Amino acid sequence: MEPSVMESDKSLLEIVEEMRRDIEAAGLGSEQEAEAFRVRYLGQKNGLVTNLFKRIREVPPETRREAGQRLNALKKLAETRLDDARTQLRQDQSQDRAAIDLTLPGRRPSPPGSTHPLTTTLNDIVRIFERLGFVVAEGPEIEDDWHNFTALNFPPDHPARDMQDTLFIEASDGGEGGIMLRTHTSPVQIRAMHAGDPPFRLIAPGRVYRNESITYKSYCLFHQVEGLVVDEGVTMADLKHVLFTFARTFFGDDVKLRFRPSFFPFTEPSAELDIWWPLPDHPDGGRWMEILGSGMVDPNVLEAVGIDSERYTGYAFGMGVERPAMLRYNIDDIRILYENDVRFLEQF
């Protein structure tokens, strides 16, 4: 039965006694119950215990002192029960949090990082040329038509200038004047020669982009290392010497090499370097593979950047990084270099 301060047929002391039993029996197993208990008995406005204090005047003077003591004890009891309940609830909660499920599988540490095979290959190539006296130069990946094509002696109707081959950021009517993702590292030659005076002996490693269909052997982006040497009296013999030295250092002293005539708009004469790659299953026991393009810098290119082509000559070369990396690591699909599959990457 609800003890009510309004029940005038019961003495205050009887009510106190009933309430004491209720308070002792109250369930306080949750924060909601504890809060309801607080409001019910100790609430500032209408708490049952709070209200009893207001009735102390009704008690005859001779028992008023005792009634006061009993009321104070009741209040104390309610407060203690509430405090204890809340302490207990907090403890239960932190125990829940600390509970460890020992049957859960452990967390795997993430695999340690390692250098990407392309980066390793690129660094190795750069290091070989640095030992031959080359310094690293860089240029932007977003290039304008002049640096990527015009200054490199590409005729206006050259197929590389077509949307089919080049990823344009801003195309332009009539071939010239567009903005594009560079299709090779050769524009770095132009930037370097434009910015300084001969002699030059530089390599320019970097990413290049082409609108290729993506297959096991071609991708829309890849890496090149460009080389440029310009000085008085530079000849094709210097070019051949440097490239053969590079190839023997990179692929091994016994690598078979072939220098094959070729064509590039910005070099004259031009040559490609092939290496013989032994393949046990191949009917010929292996096959020639092209690894770079090269040639003597075309006088038109030197003149385009204001270098006297009567006084200076030079050579240039450009090699892909993907093919040497794939040969070296026995990778047969170029796409895997760009997928960032951890099962592949963790092998390096």
**Residue with nearest beta carbon to ligand PHE:** 318
In the bound state with ligand PHE, the residue whose beta carbon lies nearer, of 190 and 316, is 316
- Structural tokens at position 73: 């004890």
Residue 301 CB, shortest distance to ligand PHE, in Å, is: 10
- Chain Cα centroid distance, residue 72: 67
Residue among 319, 92, 307, 38 nearest 206 (CA): 319
| Measured distance CA(241)–CA(273) in Å, rounded | 12
Residue 186 CB, shortest distance to ligand PHE, in Å, is: 4
- Structural tokens at position 67: 């009634």
In the bound state with ligand PHE, the residue whose beta carbon lies nearer, of 48 and 298, is 298
Return phi, psi of residue 270, to 5°: -120, 155
Residue 104 CB, shortest distance to ligand PHE, in Å, is: 54
**Sheet with strand 200-209: strands edge to edge:** 135-136, 200-209, 221-231, 313-320, 286-297, 267-278, 257-264
In the bound state with ligand PHE, the residue whose beta carbon lies nearer, of 121 and 272, is 272
Residue 309 CB, shortest distance to ligand PHE, in Å, is: 16
Residue 126 CB, shortest distance to ligand PHE, in Å, is: 16
In the bound state with ligand PHE, the residue whose beta carbon lies nearer, of 43 and 155, is 155
In the bound state with ligand PHE, the residue whose beta carbon lies nearer, of 18 and 268, is 268
Residue 277 CB, shortest distance to ligand PHE, in Å, is: 20
- Residues 219, 206: contact at Cβ < 8 Å? no
| Measured distance CA(231)–CA(89) in Å, rounded | 85
H-type alpha helices, the chain: 12-25, 31-37, 48-54, 61-98, 117-131, 145-148, 186-195, 236-251, 299-304, 322-329, 336-339, 342-345
**Sheet with strand 142-144: strands edge to edge:** 142-144, 179-181, 168-170
Residue 131 CB, shortest distance to ligand PHE, in Å, is: 20
Q: Helix axis angle, 117-131 relative to 322-329, nearest 10°? A: 110
In the bound state with ligand PHE, the residue whose beta carbon lies nearer, of 121 and 153, is 153
Residue 269 CB, shortest distance to ligand PHE, in Å, is: 11
In the bound state with ligand PHE, the residue whose beta carbon lies nearer, of 206 and 318, is 318
Q: What SS3 class is residue 47?
A: coil
What residue ranges bind ligand PHE (CB under 6 A)? 184, 186, 226, 264, 267, 293-295, 316-318
In the bound state with ligand PHE, the residue whose beta carbon lies nearer, of 251 and 315, is 315
Neighbours of 105 (CB within 10 A): 5
Residue 144 CB, shortest distance to ligand PHE, in Å, is: 16
Q: Looking at this protein, which amino acid is placed at residue 130?
A: E
In the bound state with ligand PHE, the residue whose beta carbon lies nearer, of 85 and 225, is 225
